[in-house]
Structure 1
């Protein structure tokens, strides 16, 4: 890969820092709030997240898969943990009981991943995640993230109404960043994410001074298992473990997409090293009450936006992220970044991920029958994502978190379809028909 100049490296590192921070800060805060933790515990989780996410990025970029791919809290696991917390009453369990079951499931999955990685068993698991399953995964991930960031762009008041001025400002930021990417020169296009965040932040403070946060010192104290001590709640453990195994597809999809984008080979040894690190991260995450980690497939959308593939800015950005947690006042300063601005900029960055999803369809041929292998899992997953989770209370409580998760159900259906049907023969028949 072509190295960047010193000045470009500095700005690219800052751009990575803002990207990693914006994708991280909401997760521990939302989880801590969902589990009813007090402000000190949430602050400690945030600080743990800042430090550990930065270190995780550096270790993966330096010793793991060695691609500039953010290692962060998995969107799949984040959604699962939040769904389980919301279902506590219908499941008849307290929040600490659910949190403890989640911790047990994450620990079990982390240990299993380490064992699988050491004995190279995961290479067999990769056969389950076929290219079509990865395509379904990419489409569902794109839809899930876009929905999250679109909602995050909107400012909603306590009475549930839309605060129009701030929401319109978010759309203005989206338009600005999009124009910089589409119409700007190479430099402006490459740094549109950084420019959008900084410029949007400054204008937001000027236009909405009363809404601007002041920041606060994060807690210096760490605590183990803040969501609940590990227990043997088998249902919660099983669901968490299944989701964690599916979460491994993040590594496959991310590394393969980054390999195509950067032109570097994605060897099995790179994947194995990444699995070992991800398994280790999961164990640490369970102890600290954090959402399990995974390489961000959405980083590919970021790379497509910036067109900066050099690892050095990424490693520096990860290192700066860890420093934010080590020096709390710095993290508190960056925490004043308006969340609506951050979501607006990430919304544009992740539009590129849809292009990555479309590119993964290259080489496939569809007809009225074979289209089911793509349409059925993608549209089922998307449909479930837009349903109220209360509708699933008619099912056994142990199945509700699984059945109400559109992402998991879509990927599982894709795996089943790819296992049961010989789609390759169908494609050959279509190809022969087209050649006549």
Structure 2
């Protein structure tokens, strides 16, 4: 029995890792392209981001909210990166100078986040997360994600501006395969894992897989301030404060949603640890600035993953996050996983979002307020 339990834990951890990878690779690759980072520079940026994401997940699961919640690249920061990709050259002189300013923005955000958490803002914010607010948040989340999913599965990945019919058809096959695997009694909870593997093979058979970027280093640990020392720009303060408040709001919503899913499996499995989670969120933003990466945020989609796979314990998540850290320090492994077609990642995790009963979560009565 012990061998069976170990194997189940390993497969669950691997599925968590692939779920994190599938949802986290697109953003750093997109940002690297926007700022002219190509080849080894782009892979290094992806590595640093994965390192921060894996470490952020560990910190939250062990010291923060203590829930299995994926830490992914914050969409808010992605928007800031995209906005300043062109605007920053005008304001700060070059793409590299812009990246220095963004390092400063992450550090400032982390400090603000920690201060607000220590002085009790989190406890005041959480009162407003009524069932109606959470339901509205989830509705907006699904609406926001639907556009990204459709673009990814249509083959609109930045290189193509028109719908790729072959990519779309294969994406549909992967989705159907994922739904089919979910219904199988033994391997159903590993549907994301099998869908990504089978989808990647399918795309490769049709010549639609991405080439693996060649790298020479065997091991590469993340460096500090890769783009240079942070550049202080006081006109960024208001923007950073606004983004930080939204990050904290997103964190609270994600915790509430995942709490309700986990409570179906374990009573009193996760107590309210909002202040600790807020402090760790601040530390994670600091890590994003220190390692010249993208600041992470708790991903609400983790609730759908847990409900679909029934993998609700922290240990598989902790091991999965550790696997992400291991991947991040081996450039060849990072390059390999970065070659997963974007459409495969979206198609494999689509059923996780589609099958989850968001409306049921929005009717939960025991939220505060």
The TM-score with structure 2 as length reference comes to: 0.85
The Cα RMSD (Å) is 2.8
- Whether contact under 8 Å (1:154, 1:340) holds in the other structure is yes
Shift of 1:323: 0.8
Number of the residue aligned with 1:389: none
Number of the residue aligned with 1:72: 72
SS of the residue corresponding to residue 362 of structure 2 reads coil
SS of the residue corresponding to residue 248 of structure 1 reads helix
Q: Output one character per residue of 1:312-349: Cα deviation in whole Å (capped at 9) or x when no partner.
A: 11111111111111222222222232221111112222
Quote the Cα distance in structure 1 between the aligned partners of 2:65 and 2:342. 31
Number of the residue aligned with 1:135: 135
1:244 aligns with 2:234: no
- Whether contact under 8 Å (1:149, 1:346) holds in the other structure is no
Deviates more, 1:276-285 or 1:110-119: 110-119
SS of the residue corresponding to residue 72 of structure 1 reads strand
Name which of 310, 313, 332 aligns with 1:310.
313
SS of the residue corresponding to residue 72 of structure 2 reads strand
Number of the residue aligned with 1:416: none
The TM-score with structure 1 as length reference comes to: 0.73
Number of the residue aligned with 2:184: 185
- Whether contact under 8 Å (1:64, 1:273) holds in the other structure is yes
Could you list the runs of 5+ residues in structure 1 that have no partner in the other structure?
A: 365-423, 425-436
Shift of 1:7: 2.2
Shift of 1:197: 0.7
Could you list the runs of 5+ residues in structure 2 that have no partner in the other structure?
A: none
1:196 aligns with 2:225: no
1:205 aligns with 2:209: no
Number of the residue aligned with 1:267: 271
- Whether contact under 8 Å (1:103, 1:228) holds in the other structure is no
Number of the residue aligned with 2:279: 276
Quote the Cα distance in structure 1 between the aligned partners of 2:101 and 2:237. 5
Name which of 205, 208, 212 aligns with 1:214.
212
Q: Which has the higher contact order (CA 8 A, sep 6+)?
A: 2
SS of the residue corresponding to residue 300 of structure 2 reads coil
Q: Which has the larger radius of gyration?
A: 1
Aligned length: 356
- Whether contact under 8 Å (1:43, 1:218) holds in the other structure is no
Number of the residue aligned with 1:119: 119
- Whether contact under 8 Å (2:209, 2:339) holds in the other structure is no
- Whether contact under 8 Å (1:101, 1:234) holds in the other structure is no
Quote the Cα distance in structure 2 between the aligned partners of 1:363 and 1:283. 34
Number of the residue aligned with 1:394: none
| Change over 3 Å in CA distance of 1:96–1:214 after alignment to 2 | closer
- Whether contact under 8 Å (1:45, 1:288) holds in the other structure is no
| Change over 3 Å in CA distance of 1:218–1:43 after alignment to 2 | farther
Number of the residue aligned with 2:170: 169
Shift of 1:84: 3.4
- Whether contact under 8 Å (1:10, 1:313) holds in the other structure is yes
- Whether contact under 8 Å (2:39, 2:213) holds in the other structure is no
Name which of 338, 342, 351 aligns with 1:335.
338
Shift of 1:110: 0.7
| Change over 3 Å in CA distance of 1:339–1:216 after alignment to 2 | farther
